[in-house]
Chain A
């Protein structure tokens, strides 16, 4: 029984480069969330996918951030023209998409922008 997996586990990039972060949710989970955890901060909601519905992108901090979910399963979070303030741990979670679901989290991708 695989949980949520994320890759890479760590990513170091130079300012201005684009990065892609991947999330594999638990099989059968229709809901998928992305969060950002900055040092000393709580988790900041970024984006939510549910089945084939339009995603809730209300948490994306700028138009440099985008995400897609192909085939209702794997999701990719893309950050274009990375800035130093993008350095954080990016967490993905998946759930059953029901009202009383529990979100199950992956181990995160630690992004460092130099």
Chain B
């Protein structure tokens, strides 16, 4: 069975600073990887996804993530954080083959300070 670890429960960054949210996964085959963002009281919105190909994936809102098979990681990055990025971020891994049984991490809550 697959699993996802997000080691940072809370992160605080200053507006304009760079951001990296960590995600490690465990899955025996080639994973499908996702980052979702959840604003307070909202559902989850897909930021980006990796299925295959280029290991550096560009997403919405200026986010990117890099798949590193050797490290079993899929860290999310943004070069300059905006106050509106304050939210909770979920990394997820899905199975390849068959339907998308997706396993989510517990989330990282991002606080942005002026």
Contact = CB atoms under 8 A, between A and B. Distances in A.
Interface stretch (B63-71, B75-83, B90-98): B90-98
B44 A42 contact: no
Contacts of A107: 41-43
A42 B107 contact: yes
B51 A100 contact: yes
Contacts, number: 56
Nearest to B45: A105
Query: What bracket does the count of chain B residues touching chain A fall in?
Result: 20 to 34
B41 A31 contact: no
B18 to A, nearest CB: 25
A63 B51 CA distance: 35
A105 B97 contact: no
Interface of A: 4, 31, 33, 35, 40-43, 45, 48, 50, 56, 91, 93, 95, 97, 99-108
Contacts of B4: 42
A103 B102 contact: yes
Given A40-B106, A41-B106, A42-B90, A97 B42 contact: no
A99 B45 CA distance: 19
Contacts of A103: 46, 100, 102
